[in-house]
Amino acid sequence: MRFDPYDILELSRDAGEDDIKRAYRQQAMKYHPDRNPGDHAAEEKFKEVGRAYDILADPEKRSRFDRYGTVDDHPGNHGGSPFAGFDMEDALRSFMENFGFGGFQQDSPGRGDDLTVSIELTLPEAVLGGERLLRTERMEACETCGGSGADPEEGMQTCLQCQGSGRVVNDRRTLLGTFRSVSQCQICRGSGKVPRKPCGKCRGRGVYRKARSISVQLPAGLSEGHCLTLRGQGHHPGEGGSPGNLRVMIRSVDYGRFMREGDNLVYALPVSYPEAVLGAVLQVPDPCGGEPAQVKVPEGAVTGDRIPIKGKGMGRLDRRGRGDLLVHVEIHVPRKHGRRERKLLEEMASMDAFIPSKR
Protein backbone atom coordinates (compact mmCIF):
# COMPACT_ATOMS: atom_id res chain seq x y z
CA MET A 1 0.00 0.00 0.00
CA ARG A 2 1.18 3.54 -0.73
CA PHE A 3 2.44 5.41 2.32
CA ASP A 4 0.04 8.31 3.06
CA PRO A 5 1.00 10.60 5.97
CA TYR A 6 -2.53 12.04 6.10
CA ASP A 7 -3.99 8.59 6.69
CA ILE A 8 -1.32 7.72 9.27
CA LEU A 9 -2.11 10.82 11.36
CA GLU A 10 -5.85 10.65 10.54
CA LEU A 11 -5.88 14.14 9.06
CA SER A 12 -7.64 15.86 6.20
CA ARG A 13 -5.52 17.35 3.43
CA ASP A 14 -6.31 20.91 4.53
CA ALA A 15 -5.08 20.30 8.10
CA GLY A 16 -3.24 23.25 9.67
CA GLU A 17 0.03 23.29 11.57
CA ASP A 18 -1.64 23.01 14.98
CA ASP A 19 -3.80 20.10 13.78
CA ILE A 20 -0.71 18.24 12.56
CA LYS A 21 1.16 18.73 15.84
CA ARG A 22 -1.86 17.66 17.88
CA ALA A 23 -2.40 14.50 15.84
CA TYR A 24 1.28 13.62 15.94
CA ARG A 25 1.43 13.99 19.71
CA GLN A 26 -1.59 11.74 20.24
CA GLN A 27 -0.29 9.01 17.93
CA ALA A 28 3.33 9.21 19.13
CA MET A 29 2.32 8.94 22.78
CA LYS A 30 0.08 5.99 21.96
CA TYR A 31 2.73 3.93 20.11
CA HIS A 32 5.87 5.05 21.96
CA PRO A 33 8.21 2.04 22.58
CA ASP A 34 8.42 2.76 26.30
CA ARG A 35 4.66 2.34 26.57
CA ASN A 36 4.71 -0.79 24.43
CA PRO A 37 7.85 -2.74 25.48
CA GLY A 38 8.64 -5.63 23.17
CA ASP A 39 5.79 -4.80 20.77
CA HIS A 40 7.38 -4.78 17.33
CA ALA A 41 4.13 -3.69 15.64
CA ALA A 42 3.92 -0.64 17.94
CA GLU A 43 7.53 0.25 17.12
CA GLU A 44 6.76 0.11 13.41
CA LYS A 45 3.67 2.24 13.94
CA PHE A 46 5.71 4.74 16.00
CA LYS A 47 8.18 4.98 13.14
CA GLU A 48 5.32 5.46 10.67
CA VAL A 49 3.90 8.28 12.78
CA GLY A 50 7.29 9.96 13.00
CA ARG A 51 7.81 9.74 9.26
CA ALA A 52 4.33 11.09 8.58
CA TYR A 53 5.00 14.07 10.83
CA ASP A 54 8.41 14.61 9.22
CA ILE A 55 6.66 15.01 5.87
CA LEU A 56 3.68 17.13 6.88
CA ALA A 57 5.62 19.43 9.22
CA ASP A 58 8.00 20.40 6.42
CA PRO A 59 6.26 22.71 3.90
CA GLU A 60 8.56 21.63 1.04
CA LYS A 61 8.12 17.90 1.69
CA ARG A 62 4.37 18.31 2.17
CA SER A 63 4.06 20.24 -1.09
CA ARG A 64 6.05 17.58 -2.92
CA PHE A 65 3.88 14.79 -1.49
CA ASP A 66 0.65 16.63 -2.35
CA ARG A 67 1.85 17.03 -5.93
CA TYR A 68 3.56 13.70 -6.64
CA GLY A 69 2.38 11.37 -3.87
CA THR A 70 5.97 10.89 -2.70
CA VAL A 71 8.85 12.87 -1.25
CA ASP A 72 11.53 10.99 -3.22
CA ASP A 73 13.99 12.96 -5.29
CA HIS A 74 12.51 11.18 -8.34
CA PRO A 75 8.76 12.05 -8.40
CA GLY A 76 8.05 9.28 -10.89
CA ASN A 77 9.17 6.62 -8.43
CA HIS A 78 6.20 5.67 -6.25
CA GLY A 79 7.73 2.44 -5.03
CA GLY A 80 10.45 1.74 -2.50
CA SER A 81 10.43 2.01 1.26
CA PRO A 82 8.51 4.89 2.84
CA PHE A 83 11.21 5.00 5.54
CA ALA A 84 14.13 5.67 3.22
CA GLY A 85 16.47 7.95 5.15
CA PHE A 86 14.26 7.80 8.25
CA ASP A 87 14.68 5.15 10.97
CA MET A 88 13.77 4.56 14.63
CA GLU A 89 16.53 6.87 15.83
CA ASP A 90 15.06 9.67 13.72
CA ALA A 91 11.59 8.95 15.09
CA LEU A 92 12.80 9.09 18.70
CA ARG A 93 14.77 12.27 18.09
CA SER A 94 11.74 13.95 16.50
CA PHE A 95 9.61 12.96 19.48
CA MET A 96 12.13 14.32 22.00
CA GLU A 97 12.67 17.57 20.15
CA ASN A 98 8.96 18.31 19.79
CA PHE A 99 7.80 17.43 23.29
CA GLY A 100 10.51 18.82 25.52
CA PHE A 101 12.55 15.67 26.14
CA GLY A 102 15.76 17.08 24.76
CA GLY A 103 17.21 17.23 21.33
CA PHE A 104 20.10 19.40 20.30
CA GLN A 105 19.27 22.85 19.07
CA GLN A 106 22.10 25.08 17.99
CA ASP A 107 21.11 28.48 19.29
CA SER A 108 24.48 30.14 19.48
CA PRO A 109 25.62 32.60 18.50
CA GLY A 110 22.09 33.31 17.28
CA ARG A 111 20.55 36.75 17.47
CA GLY A 112 21.22 39.43 20.06
CA ASP A 113 18.65 40.77 22.50
CA ASP A 114 16.21 43.43 21.44
CA LEU A 115 16.69 46.95 22.75
CA THR A 116 13.62 48.90 23.84
CA VAL A 117 13.46 52.70 24.10
CA SER A 118 10.41 54.70 25.24
CA ILE A 119 9.86 58.23 23.96
CA GLU A 120 7.30 61.03 24.22
CA LEU A 121 6.25 62.72 20.99
CA THR A 122 5.58 66.38 20.49
CA LEU A 123 2.29 67.21 18.79
CA PRO A 124 3.98 68.23 15.50
CA GLU A 125 5.83 64.89 15.46
CA ALA A 126 2.58 62.99 16.01
CA VAL A 127 0.75 65.03 13.35
CA LEU A 128 3.37 65.16 10.59
CA GLY A 129 5.98 62.58 11.58
CA GLY A 130 9.65 63.37 11.19
CA GLU A 131 13.13 62.28 12.16
CA ARG A 132 14.14 61.75 15.78
CA LEU A 133 17.72 61.16 16.92
CA LEU A 134 17.80 58.67 19.80
CA ARG A 135 20.77 58.45 22.11
CA THR A 136 21.11 55.04 23.73
CA GLU A 137 23.59 52.35 24.73
CA ARG A 138 23.77 48.89 23.23
CA MET A 139 26.06 45.87 23.27
CA GLU A 140 28.34 45.77 20.22
CA ALA A 141 30.88 43.23 19.00
CA CYS A 142 34.33 43.92 20.41
CA GLU A 143 36.53 45.49 17.76
CA THR A 144 39.71 44.11 19.36
CA CYS A 145 38.83 40.39 19.33
CA GLY A 146 36.15 40.47 16.64
CA GLY A 147 33.57 39.20 19.13
CA SER A 148 35.40 35.96 19.98
CA GLY A 149 36.27 37.05 23.52
CA ALA A 150 39.87 35.84 23.08
CA ASP A 151 43.07 37.80 23.29
CA PRO A 152 44.11 38.21 19.63
CA GLU A 153 47.66 37.04 20.38
CA GLU A 154 46.64 33.95 22.40
CA GLY A 155 43.73 32.67 20.29
CA MET A 156 41.32 29.84 21.16
CA GLN A 157 41.59 26.33 22.60
CA THR A 158 39.31 23.26 22.71
CA CYS A 159 36.53 23.41 25.34
CA LEU A 160 37.22 20.84 28.07
CA GLN A 161 33.57 20.59 29.07
CA CYS A 162 32.35 19.23 25.73
CA GLN A 163 35.71 18.12 24.27
CA GLY A 164 35.19 20.42 21.33
CA SER A 165 31.82 19.03 20.21
CA GLY A 166 29.78 21.99 21.44
CA ARG A 167 27.25 19.54 22.89
CA VAL A 168 26.63 18.02 26.30
CA VAL A 169 24.78 14.71 26.69
CA ASN A 170 22.44 14.19 29.66
CA ASP A 171 20.14 11.35 30.66
CA ARG A 172 16.73 12.35 31.99
CA ARG A 173 14.19 10.12 33.71
CA THR A 174 10.54 10.74 32.77
CA LEU A 175 7.21 8.97 33.05
CA LEU A 176 7.92 7.36 29.70
CA GLY A 177 11.35 6.13 30.74
CA THR A 178 14.89 7.47 30.45
CA PHE A 179 15.61 9.84 27.62
CA ARG A 180 18.99 10.97 26.46
CA SER A 181 19.07 14.65 25.59
CA VAL A 182 21.77 16.57 23.83
CA SER A 183 22.04 20.24 24.71
CA GLN A 184 24.33 23.08 23.88
CA CYS A 185 27.47 23.42 26.00
CA GLN A 186 27.07 26.41 28.27
CA ILE A 187 30.83 26.95 28.63
CA CYS A 188 31.65 27.47 24.95
CA ARG A 189 28.06 28.28 23.85
CA GLY A 190 28.14 25.52 21.25
CA SER A 191 31.31 26.63 19.47
CA GLY A 192 33.53 23.91 20.93
CA LYS A 193 36.26 26.47 21.65
CA VAL A 194 37.11 28.84 24.51
CA PRO A 195 39.67 31.65 24.77
CA ARG A 196 43.13 30.78 26.02
CA LYS A 197 43.22 34.25 27.52
CA PRO A 198 40.30 36.69 27.73
CA CYS A 199 40.36 39.78 25.57
CA GLY A 200 41.50 42.77 27.61
CA LYS A 201 38.95 45.18 26.17
CA CYS A 202 35.73 43.13 26.53
CA ARG A 203 37.04 40.85 29.33
CA GLY A 204 36.23 37.75 27.36
CA ARG A 205 32.58 38.55 26.70
CA GLY A 206 33.04 39.33 23.02
CA VAL A 207 30.85 42.41 23.34
CA TYR A 208 30.94 45.70 25.19
CA ARG A 209 28.52 48.51 25.90
CA LYS A 210 28.77 51.50 23.61
CA ALA A 211 26.83 54.76 23.35
CA ARG A 212 25.13 55.30 20.02
CA SER A 213 22.99 57.90 18.27
CA ILE A 214 20.37 56.22 16.10
CA SER A 215 18.14 58.07 13.64
CA VAL A 216 14.49 57.01 13.70
CA GLN A 217 12.00 58.01 11.02
CA LEU A 218 8.63 58.66 12.65
CA PRO A 219 5.58 58.18 10.43
CA ALA A 220 2.70 60.64 10.70
CA GLY A 221 -0.25 59.67 12.89
CA LEU A 222 1.50 57.84 15.72
CA SER A 223 -0.25 57.60 19.08
CA GLU A 224 0.38 56.24 22.57
CA GLY A 225 1.23 52.54 22.60
CA HIS A 226 2.57 52.32 19.05
CA CYS A 227 5.83 50.42 18.62
CA LEU A 228 8.33 50.94 15.79
CA THR A 229 10.83 48.15 15.05
CA LEU A 230 14.25 48.90 13.58
CA ARG A 231 15.77 45.59 12.53
CA GLY A 232 19.41 44.98 13.36
CA GLN A 233 19.72 48.02 15.64
CA GLY A 234 19.58 46.12 18.94
CA HIS A 235 22.22 44.36 21.04
CA HIS A 236 24.93 42.28 19.35
CA PRO A 237 25.47 38.72 20.70
CA GLY A 238 29.13 38.45 19.70
CA GLU A 239 31.14 36.59 17.07
CA GLY A 240 29.10 35.18 14.21
CA GLY A 241 25.77 36.39 15.54
CA SER A 242 23.41 39.03 14.26
CA PRO A 243 22.14 42.04 16.23
CA GLY A 244 18.68 42.10 17.73
CA ASN A 245 16.11 44.77 16.94
CA LEU A 246 15.48 48.22 18.36
CA ARG A 247 11.92 48.68 19.58
CA VAL A 248 10.81 52.31 19.88
CA MET A 249 7.76 52.52 22.14
CA ILE A 250 5.59 55.64 21.98
CA ARG A 251 5.01 56.26 25.68
CA SER A 252 2.87 59.38 25.31
CA VAL A 253 2.06 62.34 23.08
CA ASP A 254 2.00 65.92 24.34
CA TYR A 255 -1.24 67.18 22.82
CA GLY A 256 -1.13 70.46 24.74
CA ARG A 257 -4.50 72.24 24.48
CA PHE A 258 -5.76 69.81 21.86
CA MET A 259 -7.58 66.49 22.26
CA ARG A 260 -7.44 63.60 19.84
CA GLU A 261 -10.37 61.71 18.36
CA GLY A 262 -8.99 59.20 15.88
CA ASP A 263 -7.54 61.18 12.97
CA ASN A 264 -9.18 64.39 14.17
CA LEU A 265 -8.00 66.96 16.69
CA VAL A 266 -10.40 68.88 18.90
CA TYR A 267 -9.74 72.39 20.17
CA ALA A 268 -12.00 73.99 22.78
CA LEU A 269 -12.53 77.63 21.71
CA PRO A 270 -13.82 80.05 24.37
CA VAL A 271 -16.51 82.29 22.80
CA SER A 272 -18.03 85.29 24.55
CA TYR A 273 -21.78 85.64 24.82
CA PRO A 274 -21.95 88.59 22.38
CA GLU A 275 -19.75 86.70 19.88
CA ALA A 276 -22.02 83.69 20.12
CA VAL A 277 -25.12 85.83 19.57
CA LEU A 278 -23.79 88.06 16.81
CA GLY A 279 -21.23 85.70 15.24
CA ALA A 280 -17.51 86.38 14.96
CA VAL A 281 -14.31 85.49 13.16
CA LEU A 282 -11.77 84.15 15.65
CA GLN A 283 -8.31 82.64 15.53
CA VAL A 284 -7.40 79.03 16.39
CA PRO A 285 -3.77 77.95 16.99
CA ASP A 286 -2.15 75.63 14.48
CA PRO A 287 -1.33 72.16 15.94
CA CYS A 288 2.08 72.21 14.29
CA GLY A 289 3.01 75.74 15.36
CA GLY A 290 2.24 77.45 12.08
CA GLU A 291 0.09 80.49 11.42
CA PRO A 292 -3.22 80.52 13.36
CA ALA A 293 -6.29 79.46 11.40
CA GLN A 294 -9.35 81.70 10.99
CA VAL A 295 -12.65 80.20 12.06
CA LYS A 296 -16.08 81.76 11.56
CA VAL A 297 -18.40 81.34 14.52
CA PRO A 298 -21.97 81.57 13.17
CA GLU A 299 -24.67 83.72 14.75
CA GLY A 300 -26.54 81.94 17.53
CA ALA A 301 -23.75 79.45 18.28
CA VAL A 302 -24.17 77.40 21.44
CA THR A 303 -21.81 75.40 23.62
CA GLY A 304 -21.09 72.06 22.01
CA ASP A 305 -21.22 73.23 18.41
CA ARG A 306 -18.28 71.95 16.37
CA ILE A 307 -16.83 73.84 13.46
CA PRO A 308 -14.54 71.70 11.24
CA ILE A 309 -11.37 73.00 9.66
CA LYS A 310 -10.53 70.49 6.93
CA GLY A 311 -7.08 68.92 6.74
CA LYS A 312 -5.69 70.45 9.93
CA GLY A 313 -5.96 67.36 12.13
CA MET A 314 -3.72 64.30 12.63
CA GLY A 315 -1.73 62.71 9.87
CA ARG A 316 -3.21 59.34 8.90
CA LEU A 317 -0.96 56.42 9.78
CA ASP A 318 -0.05 54.41 6.65
CA ARG A 319 -2.37 56.59 4.58
CA ARG A 320 -2.22 59.92 2.85
CA GLY A 321 -3.77 63.13 4.04
CA ARG A 322 -4.83 64.46 7.43
CA GLY A 323 -7.92 64.46 9.53
CA ASP A 324 -9.80 67.62 10.53
CA LEU A 325 -9.42 70.15 13.30
CA LEU A 326 -12.76 70.35 15.11
CA VAL A 327 -13.31 73.67 16.85
CA HIS A 328 -15.51 72.99 19.88
CA VAL A 329 -17.50 76.07 20.89
CA GLU A 330 -17.59 76.86 24.61
CA ILE A 331 -19.64 79.91 25.62
CA HIS A 332 -17.72 81.88 28.22
CA VAL A 333 -19.84 83.25 31.08
CA PRO A 334 -17.94 85.72 33.29
CA ARG A 335 -18.17 85.09 37.04
CA LYS A 336 -17.94 88.81 37.88
CA HIS A 337 -19.34 91.90 36.16
CA GLY A 338 -19.64 95.58 36.89
CA ARG A 339 -22.74 97.74 37.30
CA ARG A 340 -22.92 98.73 33.65
CA GLU A 341 -22.64 95.11 32.47
CA ARG A 342 -25.32 94.07 34.96
CA LYS A 343 -27.69 96.81 33.78
CA LEU A 344 -27.24 95.77 30.14
CA LEU A 345 -27.87 92.13 31.04
CA GLU A 346 -31.04 93.03 32.94
CA GLU A 347 -32.31 94.94 29.91
CA MET A 348 -31.53 91.99 27.66
CA ALA A 349 -33.23 89.55 30.03
CA SER A 350 -36.50 91.51 29.63
CA MET A 351 -36.44 91.27 25.83
CA ASP A 352 -38.56 88.58 24.16
CA ALA A 353 -35.65 87.55 21.90
CA PHE A 354 -33.68 86.35 24.92
CA ILE A 355 -36.50 84.48 26.62
CA PRO A 356 -36.52 80.75 25.74
CA SER A 357 -39.65 79.75 23.85
CA LYS A 358 -39.92 76.55 25.85
CA ARG A 359 -39.88 77.28 29.54
User: Average of pLDDT values for 146-159?
Assistant: 87
Alpha-carbon torsion angle 24, 25, 26, 27, nearest 10 = 50
SS3 182: strand
Could you tell me the pTM of the whole model? 0.57
User: Average of pLDDT values for 99-121?
Assistant: 66
pLDDT confidence of residue 346: 80
User: Average of pLDDT values for 278-302?
Assistant: 94
Give per-residue pLDDT as tens, 46-105.
889 888 998 998 888 888 888 777 765 444 444 444 445 466 666 666 666 565 443 333
Contact 36, 42 (CB under 8 A): yes
3-state helix, strand, coil in the chain (%, to 5): 25, 30, 45
Of residues 318 and 135, the one with the higher pLDDT is 135
Write down the domain spans for the chain: 5-98, 115-254, 267-354
pLDDT confidence of residue 263: 94
267-354 topology per CATH: HSP40/DNAj peptide-binding domain (2.60.260)
Q: What are phi and psi of 84, to 5 degrees?
A: -60, 120
115-254 topology per CATH: Chaperone, DNAj Protein; Chain A (2.10.230)
Strands (E), 219-340: 227-230, 246-254, 258-261, 264-272, 280-284, 293-297, 306-309, 325-332
* Sequence-ordered list of residues with C-beta below 8 angstroms from that of 172, at least 6 positions apart, any chain: 101, 102, 178, 179, 180, 181
- CATH among 3.40.50.1970, 1.10.287.110, 2.60.40.1730, 3.40.50.300 for 5-98: 1.10.287.110
pLDDT confidence of residue 178: 61
Contact 134, 216 (CB under 8 A): yes
Alpha-carbon torsion angle 311, 315, 319, 324, nearest 10 = -30
User: Average of pLDDT values for 165-189?
Assistant: 71
Cα(350)–Cα(134) distance, integer angstroms: 64
